[in-house]
Amino acid sequence: MRISRQPALKSLGLGLGLAGSLLLALFGTVVGALALSNDGVRGTTKAWWFELHCSHSTGVVGFYCGLGLLVAGWLVLGEVARGGFLGPRTWWTALVVWGTPLVLGPPLFSRDLYSYVAQGMIAKAGHNPYTTSPQILGSDPVVAGIASVWRHTPAPYGPVAALGTEATAHLGGSSLFTQVIAARLPAVVGMVMVALLLPRLARRVGVNPGSALWLSVLSPLFIISFFASGHNDALMLGVMVGAALAITGGHWLLGVGLGTAAATVKLPALGVIGVPLVQRLWRERDHRVRLLLTTALTMVGTAGVLTLVARFGFGWLSPSALSIPTQLRTLATPSVAFGTFLAACLHGLGLTVSTHQVVSVTRVLLSVGSVGIILWLLAEVRRRNSLRITGIALLVVALGSPTLWPWYLTWGLVLLAATSAQRSRGLAVAASAPVLLVGAQGTPALTGHSYLWIVPLLLAGVTWLLRSPRPLALLGDQID
């Protein structure tokens, strides 16, 4: 790619992405995940602190035009990144100008921000968010914004997430608008941490830092999931990347402490410790006991201190809290789609079976299969790059989970972006297309009979993968 083209491409990409973010924020006040009062009327005075007045159909068209422009801007910057010309000035500019309209705009593609606000208000009032549900807030406008299935559910997140929601509750004041914007701050902090640390991790591994950021914090999946939707996974990812940086730099106990801190936001972050630990156990057979003991003490100590600082106890590790993410069944989840498809086939054969029970079985089977794949990955890690194996394992955890949401894919993508896997086109698709799995209001986009085409596509993809050398190619080259 000619150097003379770079300034024009950068300006074009930044401009398209900014236009897309502005349209998403503006038309989001028409079709986004807005708080609804009990009588079904939007808000009490306004849908958001700014709003666009137009018909719903116009809002839908404008909203998805904005999404298309954001993706287009991202693809243009991808050409710059692949040429090695995406430097710090450009990626920071993109992060700011693309993210700011979404941070200041209404919640999009998810209603979790309202849950965060409610959990923060509960903690601020002196209640325990692990035992108290948002319903205690009564007629507060935030309750109307929470998805109905979660209004009676206590917080399922770890103590660091609980501390974050409590802190932002003090910052948010009494206005729902400012409360929602404040609730995004932990996600913004997480995105900034990834943008600061991931280039260093990529350089250490020997890959393009610009491409690493293009596939992560600048991608539509990350921009929307963390700036617009405000998911606290971003904070987990920021600390998790710090843990990976420490571990690859030879600072094992620091990495274990950071990885444990990331897990006190969400537990999947433990993968950043588990995979390299297994690799070290394979290679350092004479020091296994000491390694296991120091690692366990560091993990227990870090988690214990953070839990005590948060003051809400260990309810985040209770079976009821751990089961909360499994309560919904969406067709975007492979196990649910397979179960629904299988039940439909059995119904077609005249067999009377419960779709719910069939889905329960396929959920268990896919979870067992995921465990098997992860065990195979751990067996391979002794002779392969642990960072890449960790990223793949986290993707397997997300895809094999009882409920899959698009932002779960970021767990593995953020690490794979800093490895040689960043050259994969499949990774670029995974960093963009999944945003379409959820509607603007936060409801699943795949409903009805969509499983009739989802499952054949999944089966075709799995068949293609297994009949090629790609299962091993995905793991990268062997290392000494």
Which has more confidence, 326 or 272? 272
pLDDT tens readout for residues 307-350: 999 999 999 998 888 788 778 889 999 999 999 999 999 999 98
Q: Give the mean model confidence (pLDDT) for residues 379-396.
A: 92
Distance CA 87, CA 354 (A): 55
Which has more confidence, 149 or 468? 149
Q: Give the mean model confidence (pLDDT) for residues 11-20.
A: 97
pLDDT, residue 22, reads 98
When the pLDDT of each residue in the chain is averaged and rounded to a whole number, the result is: 91
Torsion angle in degrees (nearest 10) through CA of 98, 429, 91, 77: -90
What DSSP character marks residue 468? S
Residue 25 half-sphere exposure, CB side, CA atoms within 13 Å? 21
* Residues pairing with 438 in the sheet: 444
For residue 78, give the nearest of 90, 61, 64 by alpha carbon.
Answer: 90
pLDDT, residue 117, reads 97
**What's the domain range around 24?**
1-106
pLDDT, residue 337, reads 93
The H-assigned helical ranges of 264-354 are: 271-283, 288-310, 319-323, 334-348
Q: Give the mean model confidence (pLDDT) for residues 376-398.
A: 92
Q: Is the C-alpha dihedral spanning 308, 302, 132, 164 positive or negative?
A: positive
Question: What does each C-alpha distance from 443 to 42, 150, 230, 329 come to in angstroms?
Answer: 17, 13, 16, 12
Which range is least confidently modeled, 45-49, 222-226, 329-333? 45-49
State the pLDDT confidence band at 42, using cuts at 50, 70 and 90: very low
State the pLDDT confidence band at 416, using cuts at 50, 70 and 90: very high
Q: Give the mean model confidence (pLDDT) for residues 249-267.
A: 97
Q: Give the mean model confidence (pLDDT) for residues 227-243.
A: 97
State the pLDDT confidence band at 288, using cuts at 50, 70 and 90: very high
Distance CA 93, CA 67 (A): 19
Question: What does each C-alpha distance from 12 to 79, 89, 126, 239 come to in angstroms?
Answer: 11, 15, 50, 32
What pTM did the predictor assign? 0.93
In a domain, 378, yes or no: yes
State the pLDDT confidence band at 478, using cuts at 50, 70 and 90: low
The answer to whether residue 374 scores a pLDDT higher than 80 is yes
pLDDT, residue 212, reads 97
* Residues pairing with 36 in the sheet: 42
Q: Which of 21-25, 287-291, 419-423 ranks highest by mean pLDDT? A: 21-25
The answer to whether residue 466 scores a pLDDT higher than 80 is no
CB 17 within 8 A of CB 53: no
Distance CA 70, CA 77 (A): 11
Distance CA 458, CA 478 (A): 28
In a domain, 180, yes or no: no
The last residue of a domain, from among 73, 106, 139? 106
pLDDT, residue 474, reads 63
Q: Is the C-alpha dihedral spanning 145, 226, 94, 96 positive or negative?
A: positive
The answer to whether residue 94 scores a pLDDT higher than 90 is yes
Distance CA 262, CA 419 (A): 21
In a domain, 134, yes or no: no
The answer to whether residue 43 scores a pLDDT higher than 60 is no
In a domain, 238, yes or no: no
State the pLDDT confidence band at 447, using cuts at 50, 70 and 90: confident
Amino acid at 277: L
CB 17 within 8 A of CB 66: no
If one counts the domains in the chain, the total is 2
pLDDT tens readout for residues 57-71: 999 999 999 999 999
In a domain, 368, yes or no: yes
DSSP 242-287: HHHHHHHTT-HHHHHHHHHHHHTT-GGGGHHHHHHHHHHHHH-GGG
pLDDT, residue 449, reads 84
Q: Give the mean model confidence (pLDDT) for residues 266-292.
A: 93
In a domain, 222, yes or no: no
pLDDT, residue 174, reads 87
In a domain, 162, yes or no: no
pLDDT tens readout for residues 170-198: 999 889 999 999 999 999 999 999 999 99
Distance CA 141, CA 118 (A): 10
The answer to whether residue 269 scores a pLDDT higher than 90 is yes
The last residue of a domain, from among 69, 88, 106? 106
30-65 as b/e: b if 16+ CB within 10 A: bbbbbbeeeeeebbeeebbeebbeeeeeebeebbbe
pLDDT, residue 480, reads 42
The answer to whether residue 101 scores a pLDDT higher than 90 is yes
Residue 156 half-sphere exposure, CB side, CA atoms within 13 Å? 18
42 φ, ψ (degrees, to nearest 5) = -65, 120
Tokens 């900014």 found at:
18
pLDDT, residue 39, reads 45
The last residue of a domain, from among 54, 73, 106? 106
pLDDT, residue 477, reads 59
In a domain, 205, yes or no: no
pLDDT, residue 411, reads 97
